Every structure is written in structure tokens, then in C-alpha cells.
Structure 1
Amino acid sequence: MRVINFNAGPAGLPLPALERARDELLDFQGSGMSVMEHSHRGKEYESVHNEAISLLTELLGIPDTHQVLFLTGGASQQFAQVPMNFLPPGASADYLMTGVWSEKAYEEAKLVGQARIAATTVLPDKRYVRVPRQDELQLDPKAAYVHVTSNNTIYGTQWHRWPDVGNVPLVADMSSDFMWKPMDVSRFAFIYAGAQKNLGPSGVLIAVARKDFIARGRKDIPKIFRYSTHAENNSLYNTPPTLAIYLCRNVLAWAKQVGGVARLEQWNREKGELLYGALDKHAGFYHAPVERESRSYMNVVFKLPTPELDDTFVAEAKKAGMVGLKGYRTMGGIRASIYNAVTVDNVRTLVSFMEEFVRKNG
């Protein structure tokens, strides 16, 4: 029996995408071998690769000005690779600080060149409970780029209005909320997202990059680290993580089949309203620290009256078939990650459990 998976990542995948992989695992399209055994240069795998790109382009309405890339190294590698490509000597990049991952991206950029904090909402105890307002941004109009982390898995905050950065290229780490709703891709010069939240398994990172922005990338770094190298070779410069991309294809095909990204947004908002509704209803028992206008629809964080009750909640939820609810190791409390593959009924089950837990322990 499958459990309800609220893990923050690697996260759950839609069951139809997994079932398709199961059915094709040993014999892919009558080829007599698994997709993971095929050459990345062969027509069988190439069809999967190009279909994944085509599906993502269709689902997000990616314009001709942009290109989809499949990369490795996760978001953590992009923290360094972005400034390696786009932060030339003598220039500076602006970073908007909203949590642990934006901090890590900033620290990597400082090793490559000049980086500055253009906004931060960190509290004295080092927590973040909201994203910056537009009037709090102190942007450099001559910056090489502005970097933003769209959703914060640890603190449970999310940008619901993109910052206005003028004519400066906007770079976004969307690892934990990419494709949660429709978006205007043209607003961004470079988007990167680890697949293991909303798009597929760990091992592959998806980027959507403006072609002219890639072209201006530095040429004095090793070829393997140049985004232009991967763009010129359709993400096939070296052997890509073929099985992970295959599974992304399956997830994207599922997303199209259920009604596209607009339908995913409808479900995600319904899930968020259900869960935050339960937290607000029992605000004396469940403490949700994030300010309302910054609440994440992907990672919902809260605490119970005592750490002991937190532990009891997690343990009893596991007995009830729900896993992955323990908060981040430095934060404690509870974290429910309700990515695209988590269903509305899954969240209803969690809310019912929360109601019963309050009745017994409140």
C-alpha cells in the first residue's frame, strides 16, 4: 500500500507517471531493453528527450526567445554556475535574501565575483517569515543580474508578485515551485529548478534560459560549465541523466493529460486553502509563523505547543499512512510539502488527522 508522501524532496511523483515507467521498464517501445539502457545518441532516447522539451514548452508557453536545458548538479551547482557564466570581472550581481537557499546562492556568487544583498527579511533569530516588499528592494540598475529564490522550502515563504527589477536580467531558482501555476517565462533571463519537487526524480535540473542571455555568458570557463555548451548541443553535450529525463517526460505528459498548468494551480490553491484553513481555525494550537501574504502553496510549516507534541504528531501521522511531515532539521516543527503530485484528497486526509489530533491533545 502506498503512503501519502509529504516529503520536501525528493518528493512524490504522480502515480500514472510511475505506472507508465513500471510498464515500460524492461522493454521500452518494443526495443527489447530498458530506456535506461539506451544510448543517449539513439533515436529511441532522443524521442523521449525531445518530447520532454516539447511538452514543457507547450505547458508553460515558453517563447521562441527561450530554450529548455537539462542539466546536472542540482540547484546547488547552479548557485556557482550562474555567476561563473553571467558575472563578469568588474560587475556586481544583486541577491534578494529570503532563506537558506538564497543565502547559499549569494555565498557562492561572492566566491566568483562581486555580489551584494539588495534586500533581506531575515529576523534577529535568523528566521524568515515573509518575502521583501517592492519598496524594500535596493537594486543596482547596473547589476549583471538580480537573483531571486521563488519559494523557500525551509521557512515556507513564497513570492506571489515577482519583483520589478527594471531592465536588469532576472534569474530565479524555482526548484520548489516550478510549474505550480502558469507564469510569464519571458519575464526571466534564466530559470533553474531541481526536478525532485514538482517535475520528476532527483538527478536532473531543468533550466529555461533566454537565448541572448546564454550567448553573453563568459567564454573563459571550462566548456562543461558554460550554459552555451549545453544549449548548442540540445543538452546532449555529454551523457545526460536519461532515466530522470524520461521520468520528467512522464510527469509532463501526465500534467498535460489532467488539464495543464492551469488545472495544477487550481488544485494547488485548493490544497493550500484547506491546510491553512485548518491552521487558522486552530491558531491557538497550530502556530503558522509565515505572514499571510507570503505563505507558500508548496511548503506549509507550523509548530504545535511543544516539541514533544510535534514528535507525537509526526509519529501518529506515519501510523495513519502519512510520511515526510517532520520539519527541517534546524527548524523543528512540522512541514507539509504539498507539491503537484500531492492530491486534494491527500490534503483532506491530513486536515482530518489534524482535527482529530487537536480534539485529543488540544
Structure 2
Amino acid sequence: MPEEVNGHAHNGTSVEETGPESFGYFSAGPSKLPHDVMLKAQKEFLNYGNSRVSVMELSHRSPEYLAINDEAIACARRLFNVPNNYKVFFMSGGGTGQFSAVPLNLLGEGKTADYVVTGTWSDKAMKEAKKYGTVNNVHPLSKFTSVPDESLWSRTKDASYLYYCDNETVHGVEFPFIPSNEGDFANVPVVADMSSNFGTRLFDINRFGAVYAAVQKNLGPAGCTVVIAREDLLGKAHKFCPQILDYDQIAKGNSVMNTPVTFSVYMTKLVMEWVEHNGGLEQMEKDSHIKSTMLYNIIDNSDGFYTSVVDKSYRSRCNVVFRLKGGDTDLESAFVSAAKKSNLLSLKGHRSVGGIRASIYNAISTPMVEKLAEFMKDFQANHST
């Protein structure tokens, strides 16, 4: 670990140059963590409490770690206002693991699962679910630029569940509503992948049968996945469901049925506490609106220099995806290079779609988004003809 010498790190990097506002890190995930959280974790890194060892070295059966686990679950319950008839538990395997876990736990024998496919991740989830039963794509799309009107969906009345991805990081499409579970679909649980916007806005968990979120976007480092599931949906997993993916087994084991991702759970707890201490979900939602609106205003007022193909009603607040001059790849490469020189990092779009992507999760401050906005204005001024 570099030692500080006369205000500089041993490796020659200025301490001032590595502060929380010295650069903008717009990675889609793993993403930036709150600076205060990183400092607290650093302080506790070698000796957690009075344990004399790091959290990474604690036994998952130790009283110290079990307390961390219980506090993390309690914090999630407070933050997301989770009622007693829902279980909160932590799993590993990320979102991809949940693509299998959801149908293995919830897709009944001989039943159908409805999927709303609006981007890369819901498409992958649907394809995985087809391995375990019948799946219905409620409204196939030729391109991922919006959410189809709910009145046009072809839903299954007795479906085991309706699945959707609340925010698609690759295409920059976000749901502005929760799918209906009334009338003919009152008994169809809604299941949501909230990996990339979990913790950025208020929502009513009672509208869902289950939600899950891989935390490496807004709530922690890679490794931990938070699952919130209604109790009456548990205990119905397929007989061939691996124990490690069985919601009921994980919940009964209080997230420590096996050795969990202990350090990731600990960090997730710290980030959730940080959200609580900084205004909760209400403040995170306000900040998210301010930051995303700032960038979309520049895009929309650039006379076509910057373009977004996503319908304005469904633009993501967390992943601002855009092109330069309709897809000039040379200009986009120049944008990414110039941005890096200005300490604005990880702006290249997903490899499957190209372009530019600015992921502005909770830990990305408003001043840093302002710096990106000013850079975008300057870049346009210097490259317009």
C-alpha cells in the first residue's frame, strides 16, 4: 500500500489528485462507491471492531459477522420499507444467477411465465427461463428504445409471474411505472430485476412478488445480490433446483446457509447506511433526476451533435446512452479519449451497441456530472462544423 510522503503517495500520485471530486468515474458497474464509505472501510480494514482481524477474515459463523449480516438485513428493511410478510436475504451469482433462480423458484410445473423484454438483460433472463418451462414474451420488440404500452401486452392470466428489468443498462431504457397486478392479473406476482436502479428511487414493495438487485451499481461492490421475496412464494422450488439457488433455503438460513460473500455484504451495509444518512431514497431520487436531466438537456439542445434514440418517456436516469452525429465512431472514440484526459473515465458504450454511456449512480456527485456536462458543451464547440 503506498505511503504518504510530503503530501504525495509513494507511487508518485498526488493525494489531491485522487480525492473524491478529482475525477469522474462513470462505469456501468462495478461502479463508484461513496467516498465516505471507502474511508470507513479503509479504517476498519485490518481490524474490524475488537476482532483484531479484517471482515474478510471473519468466520461467517462468528458473532461479529452475524451481527453485520443482521444489521444489513435490518437496514434493507428500513430503507425499502419492507413489511413482515417479505423475506430479505443475500445471495451470490449476480443478476445472471437470478436469471436461473427466478424460474427455478417461481415457475410452476406446467405453468407459463410472462416476460417483458425491453433490452439485453431481460432478453437474457427470458432465454435462461426457457430452459425450465414455458415462457411468453408479452410484446416482442424489433429494437430496444422504449417500453411498449401496457395495453398492448399479451399476458397470461394464470402465469406463475410477470418478469421485467426495471432499468436496462445497455440500451438506457427505464420503466416509469410498475406493471399492473390488478383485475385478471391480480394473482400474478410481479418480479423485477432492479440491479441498476435499486436504491435510486422510492417504490412500493407490496406491488411485487419479488425483486432482486446485484448491488455493484448503487449499493456496494460486486459479489452480493439482494433479494426481497414475499413469503407465500417460497418453498415451491423445482426439485432439481440447486440448494444454492433455493430462495426458501437461503431465507431459512438467514443468508448464511453457506459461506456468503462476507466483505460485499459488509460494504453493502455501509452503503445503505450512507443512503439513509444522506436523505434516504427520496433524496437519491431527487439527485438522480437532477443529474440525468442535466445531461439529457445538453443532448436535446445540441442540434443533432448528440443524439439519444430512447423515447423521452423511458430514458434511464441511471445510464445516459447517446451517440455523436448519429453514430460517427471516430468522433465517439475522440470523445472518449478527450474525456479521459479531462479525468472523466469509463464513458465508452457497451460493446454490443457502441456509442457513449454515462452511468450516474448514487455515488456520482452532482458537481461531477456538471463537469461532464461542461465537457460535452466544450467538445461540441470544438468539433462542430
Q: Normalising by the residue count of structure 1, what TM-score does the alignment of the two structures yield?
A: 0.97
Task: Quote the offset at 1:218 in angstroms.
Answer: 3.5
* 1:332 equivalent in structure 2: 354
* 2:371 equivalent in structure 1: 349
* 1:176 equivalent in structure 2: 196
* 2:122 equivalent in structure 1: 102
Mapped to 2, the partners of 1:219 and 1:189 lie a distance apart of: 21
Task: Quote the offset at 1:330 in angstroms.
Answer: 1.6
Q: For 1:184-263, what aligned pairs fall within 5 Å after superposition?
A: 184-263=204-283
3-state secondary structure, aligned to 2:354: coil
Task: Quote the offset at 1:225 in angstroms.
Answer: 2.4
What are the Cα deviations for residues 339-361 of structure 1, in whole angstroms up to 9, with x where unaligned? 11111111101000001011101
Mapped to 1, the partners of 2:238 and 2:225 lie a distance apart of: 21
Q: For 1:65-80, what aligned pairs fall within 5 Å after superposition?
A: 65-80=85-100
Mapped to 1, the partners of 2:114 and 2:155 lie a distance apart of: 7
Mapped to 1, the partners of 2:307 and 2:123 lie a distance apart of: 25
Which consecutive unaligned segments of at least 5 residues does structure 2 have? 1-16
Mapped to 1, the partners of 2:190 and 2:257 lie a distance apart of: 26
* 2:154 equivalent in structure 1: 138
Mapped to 2, the partners of 1:256 and 1:16 lie a distance apart of: 13
Q: For 1:126-165, what aligned pairs fall within 5 Å after superposition?
A: 127-165=143-181
What are the Cα deviations for residues 320-341 of structure 1, in whole angstroms up to 9, with x where unaligned? 1111100011211100001111
Mapped to 2, the partners of 1:221 and 1:197 lie a distance apart of: 28
* 2:8 equivalent in structure 1: none
Task: Quote the offset at 1:283 in angstroms.
Answer: 3.8
Mapped to 2, the partners of 1:55 and 1:86 lie a distance apart of: 26
3-state secondary structure, aligned to 2:258: coil
- Specify which of 289, 293, 299 is matched with residue 313 of structure 2: 293
- Specify which of 305, 327, 337 is matched with residue 315 of structure 1: 337
Mapped to 1, the partners of 2:89 and 2:76 lie a distance apart of: 11
Which consecutive unaligned segments of at least 5 residues does structure 1 have? none
3-state secondary structure, aligned to 1:61: coil
Mapped to 2, the partners of 1:128 and 1:224 lie a distance apart of: 33
Q: For 1:15-164, what aligned pairs fall within 5 Å after superposition?
A: 15-120=35-140, 122-123=141-142, 127-164=143-180
Mapped to 2, the partners of 1:323 and 1:283 lie a distance apart of: 25
Q: Does 1:5 align with 2:25?
A: yes
Mapped to 2, the partners of 1:56 and 1:322 lie a distance apart of: 32
Q: CA-atom RMSD, angstroms?
A: 1.1
Mapped to 2, the partners of 1:136 and 1:178 lie a distance apart of: 27
Task: Quote the offset at 1:222 in angstroms.
Answer: 3.3
Residue type at the aligned position of 1:141:
K
Mapped to 1, the partners of 2:152 and 2:362 lie a distance apart of: 31
Q: Normalising by the residue count of structure 2, what TM-score does the alignment of the two structures yield?
A: 0.91
Mapped to 1, the partners of 2:174 and 2:341 lie a distance apart of: 31
Residue type at the aligned position of 2:134:
Q
Mapped to 1, the partners of 2:243 and 2:371 lie a distance apart of: 49
What are the Cα deviations for residues 201-224 of structure 1, in whole angstroms up to 9, with x where unaligned? 111111111111113334553322
Is this contact kept in 2: 1:219–1:226, CA < 8 A? no
Mapped to 1, the partners of 2:39 and 2:272 lie a distance apart of: 14
* 1:361 equivalent in structure 2: 383
Task: Quote the offset at 1:65 in angstroms.
Answer: 1.3
